Amino acid sequence: MKVYIDGQYGTTGLQIHDRLQSRPDVELLSLPEMYKKDTEARTACMNEAEIVFLCLPDEAAREALTLITNPTTRVIDSSTAFRTDEAWVYGLPELVPDQREKIAASARVSVPGCHATAFVLSVNPLVQQGILPRDYPISYNSLTGYSGGGRPIIEQYQNASNRGDSLSRPQHYSLGLHHKHLPEMKKRTGLDYEPIFLPTVCDYYNGMVGTVPLAGRLLHGQPGLHDVHAALAAYYEGEPFVRVLPLDDIKEMPPHALDPTRCNGTNQAQIMVLGHDEQILVACRLDNLGKGSSGAAVQCMNLMLGWEEESGL
């Protein structure tokens, strides 16, 4: 199976390349770094490949798509460009019961953003099961490593001579409350309004945890902590990459237990339900470079090719 990664030398592209390079069922088409912006060379590779990963900024991804003229070439995009586009399938297999079938049959799949993945996994089941009102005034906080910012941010954090002292401390960003993941968060959960979203970047490379606080009195039927946990556990029962931790395991969680790096190096997402009946906190932990990007992309590729979903993951 011929696969080409357009944007192979970026953070997500390198991660996908690492996951695929030793697989005997994949033939990776590649270009030397000096040709990474050579339109003719890229076009030839994209039209030769059966699967193309686009690991590019939004506008570059849209431009790259116009270069693909081979009707049998299937595309998996990691940018924000197509995540709310009706012509593309959202690449979150755990979204709804038939999402895997949609991904498998599609020629165009858009991989979710890392913050959006944690949010949608936490919120969507509660909306689908009628627990969370669609007009709920929802908020979302996410703590993440700096790799999610791409090469410029990575270089800023890793350049000891140029970084300021402030980078050693957590940094809130997107303070205008217009983060690029918001449209997919709203659309892929069925909420009437976008959440109030505050992301925070920290001085470590990868790993993230997103938290959604809920007031029990504002939920349909006023469910308690156990009810919310049971709803999430039932929704994800049997899922290979999403696990809802048992309440007994998190009843007396120490302060460090929400460590955002616990899922690093995997394609796993762990969901925890914390708090009490009146105030419930749903937390989702994942690797922003795994289930939040490259791992999810490979998971979608496996489904599109009819291979074992967990292959290489």
42 neighbors 6 (Cβ within 8 angstroms): yes
Out of 114, 263, 284, 300, the active site residue is: 114
φ, ψ (nearest 5 deg) of residue 279: -135, 115
Is 165 within the bounds of a domain?
A: yes
Residue in this structure with the two tokens 């999430």, named with its chain if needed: 232
Residues 127 and 107 grouped into a single domain: no
- Residue 35, pLDDT score: 81
User: Over the chain, what is the mean pLDDT?
Assistant: 93
The structure tokens listed for 109 are 């799949």
Residues 44 and 160 grouped into a single domain: no
Residues 100 and 164 grouped into a single domain: no
Spatial strand order of the sheet with 89-90 comes to: 27-29, 2-6, 51-54, 74-77, 108-110, 89-90
The structural domain count of the chain equals 2
pLDDT at 264 over 80: yes
Q: Give the rounded percent of residues in the chain with a pLDDT score beyond 90.
A: 79
- Residues ≥6 apart with Cβ < 8 Å to 86: none
Pairing, β 208-215 against β 242-244 = unpaired
Q: Which domain holds residue 197?
A: 114-288
Residues 120 and 250 grouped into a single domain: yes
Residues 98 and 158 grouped into a single domain: no
CATH of the domain at 76: 3.40.50.720
Residue 164: is it exposed, middle or buried by C-beta count within 10 angstroms (0-12/13-18/19+)? exposed
* Better-predicted residue by pLDDT, 85 or 248: 85
Residues 137 and 107 grouped into a single domain: no
- Residues ≥6 apart with Cβ < 8 Å to 127: 134, 189, 190, 191
DSSP string over 156-208: HHH-TTT--GGGGS-EE--TTS--TTHHHHHHTTT-SS--EEEEEEESSSS-E
Give residue-wise pLDDT tens across range 277-299.
999 999 999 999 999 999 999 99
**Stated pTM of the model:** 0.93
Residues 136 and 259 grouped into a single domain: yes
Is 239 within the bounds of a domain?
A: yes
Q: Give yes or no: 114 in active site.
A: yes
Residues 104 and 228 grouped into a single domain: no
- Residue 27, pLDDT score: 93
Instruction: Report the DSSP beta bridge partners of residue 5.
Output: 53
Question: Angle, to 10 degrees, between the axis of helix 11-20 and the axis of helix 150-158?
Answer: 100
Is 309 within the bounds of a domain?
A: no
Q: Give the rounded percent of residues in the chain with a pLDDT score beyond 70.
A: 98
Is 311 within the bounds of a domain?
A: no
Is 312 within the bounds of a domain?
A: no
Instruction: Measure CA of the first residue to CA of the last residue in the chain; give whole Å.
Output: 18
68 neighbors 62 (Cβ within 8 angstroms): no
Q: What is the 3-state secondary structure (H, E, C) of 76-125?
A: EECCCCCCCCCCCEECCCCCCCCHHHHHHHCCEEECCCHHHHHHHHHHHH
Is 253 within the bounds of a domain?
A: yes
pLDDT at 114 over 90: yes
Nearest to 106 by CA among 77, 66, 147: 77
Nearest to 31 by CA among 6, 53, 60: 6
Residues 105 and 119 grouped into a single domain: no
- Residue 170, pLDDT score: 86
Is 260 within the bounds of a domain?
A: yes
Is 256 within the bounds of a domain?
A: yes
The C-alpha torsion from 68 through 41 and 76 to 268, rounded to 10°, is 180
**Residue 255 DSSP one-character state:** G
Distance of alpha carbon 139 from alpha carbon 261, whole angstroms: 22
CATH of the domain at 125: 3.30.360.10
- Residue 160, pLDDT score: 66
Residues 78 and 150 grouped into a single domain: no
Residues in the chain: 313
Nearest to 269 by CA among 30, 98, 93: 93
Residues 101 and 144 grouped into a single domain: no
Residues 273 and 161 grouped into a single domain: yes
Residue 121 confidence class, pLDDT cut points 50, 70, 90: very high
pLDDT at 5 over 80: yes
Give residue-wise pLDDT tens across range 157-176.
888 666 767 777 888 888 89
